[in-house]
Structure 1
Amino acid sequence: MLGSLLRRGVSHGYAVISDITSWHAATWTDVKPGSIYHALDKLESQGMTKSVNSENNEKLGPSRKEYIVTEQGEVEFRILLESALVSADIQQLSVGIAFMDMLSRPRVIALLQQRRVELEKSIRFLKSLPTEECPSEPSKHPELVGIWAGYVENEATATERILANVQAGKYVFKSDSLEGK
């Protein structure tokens, strides 16, 4: 939600719903279009956003409440975004990737490197777990341990690919345009 508002500058609920729908965000986040207005009210009550009067002077219907992200909201967005880029949770990482261009390229590289290190630790741990041909308890089942090790290895491979692309200069970051000035 904060990312949509920050990308737009000033926005109303319907535009946020439009963004979330066009981004197919319901497939990679917990945000559902039906909860947008409640979430916008909650963000406003927490000081993350501020409502402003619509600049649309046309009287085609009821006035529309528009929102901007406050300084507190921008700080919170950055904290959440950085946390998402190191998260082991696939939905949080997905949000981080979707909005990583709102950070600087060097910061994204550092966060993805941090994620890679943590995933490598997890892989070593999972591969060190004892397994038994006829497991005496679920945690020693070779298939269970194998599923988790494979999952984390896949996450590490994906992180490495994303990191290589970012390091190679792929994608445009908001800070890239500032560095050229």
Structure 2
Amino acid sequence: MLILGLVNWMQPVHGYDVRRELLSWSADKWGNVQPGSIYHALRKLTEEEMLREVKTEQVGARPARTTYEITPKGVDEFENLLRGYWWEVKPAADPFFAALAFLPAMPRDEAAAALRNRAAQLRAGSDGIEAAAEKGWLRDKPPHVAWMWELAVARNEGEIAWCERVAELIESGTSYLPGRMPPHPGWEQWRSKVE
């Protein structure tokens, strides 16, 4: 969606300019866009007839640059994705949930320390966003970009509070093992770690 949207917005546009714009948005941090995959995505979207190559030119000793435009099929796909992401809540896959499912496999002190560490990392991320904003990083950005980073900080604050609360519960000895343990020998090993 990001690449289709940028080509639609900036067209005709070189792949280099799409890459530069996405990196200026820090999309590699929040949008699952890796800088090295942008050119591959442009080629794939062209193969799928969502983009079209307008021209390829070479200036001096620089590498050849291809200019892209979006096709009507690409516009339809962009608009469908855009509206889908606006109107549907799709929780992001977070490997932490898989690890949390196996909380009993961790010793209590390590689990609590890991949660406090997670909270500290989230706090550092929020502090970094706020420091960048105070230094004027958002000054020449549209208001919705500031809102996006405000949402990131709000999400971090919610998870920080949760991490600290659960770490306290674990440290206080609150039981988190099921009342009736499943008939599996591994559960007994885990019970001994947390009791």
Question: Shorter-chain TM-score: which interval?
Answer: 0.3 to 0.5
* Higher normalized contact order (CA 8 Å, seq sep 6+, divided by chain length): 2
Give the greater-gyration-radius structure (CA): 2
Normalised by the length of structure 2, the TM-score is 0.44
Normalised by the length of structure 1, the TM-score is 0.47
